[in-house]
Amino acid sequence: MPVPCRRRTATAALIAVLAVAGPASAQRVRQVIDGDTITVSGVGVVRLIGVDAPEKTGGTYRESEPFGDAATRFMRDLLAGQDVRLEYDGPRTDPYKRTLAYVFLRDGRLANLEIIRAGYAETYRRFAYTRKAAFLAAEREAQDARRGMWATRRPPRRR
């Protein structure tokens, strides 16, 4: 009996994971709207759970904020055209009818966490969600390392 090669085994494992997760689990990012909002094929507008990115120049409903354009660029570089898997936690939509989700890349990275870790977004504190503690830790790490907006912005006092 032949021994399977690692590549075939890894591919088979990925196919098995996708089959269990369902056909809608891996979907393409169509557009990065800003640092915390994207459009995903088959889903529509997705708001990243736990992420509060500054507003970009030319945004529709709020005035632009420092680092808003940088946050948008970061997310474009990370997600544009990528296949992602969405995971839900709590309410499925917000008052603006956007889908609320954690956005996972194929390599397993969590986009919500990556933008906070890079210092281009803050942790959204207003609502409860499962990964809040990890997001707060990533924000503290970005502040301490003075990454992104924390390079020029003074972090809030820790209580």
What pLDDT shows up at residue 159? 41
Listed in sequence order, the residues at least 6 apart from 6 whose beta carbon sits closer than 8 Å to its beta carbon are none
What pLDDT shows up at residue 25? 66
What string of pLDDT tens digits covers the 159 residues of the chain? Answer: 444 444 444 444 434 443 334 334 689 999 999 999 999 999 999 999 999 998 876 655 666 666 879 999 999 999 999 999 999 999 999 999 999 999 999 999 999 999 999 999 999 999 999 999 999 999 999 999 999 999 986 666 554
Q: CA 106 to CA 26: how far, in whole Å? A: 8
Are the C-beta atoms of residues 129 and 89 closer than 8 Å to each other? yes
CATH code for the domain of 140: 2.40.50.90
Residue 45: domain span: 25-151
What pLDDT shows up at residue 152? 84
φ, ψ of residue 120 in degrees (nearest 5):
-105, 5
What pLDDT shows up at residue 61? 62
Give me the residue label for tokens 């529509």: 44
Does a structural domain hold residue 14? no
Does a structural domain hold residue 60? yes
Tokens, residue 111: 């986009």
Bridging pattern class, strands 37-40 and 26-34: antiparallel
The count of structural domains within the chain is 1
pTM, entire model: 0.77
Closest of 45, 52, 18 to residue 30, by C-alpha:
45
Does a structural domain hold residue 63? yes
Does a structural domain hold residue 78? yes
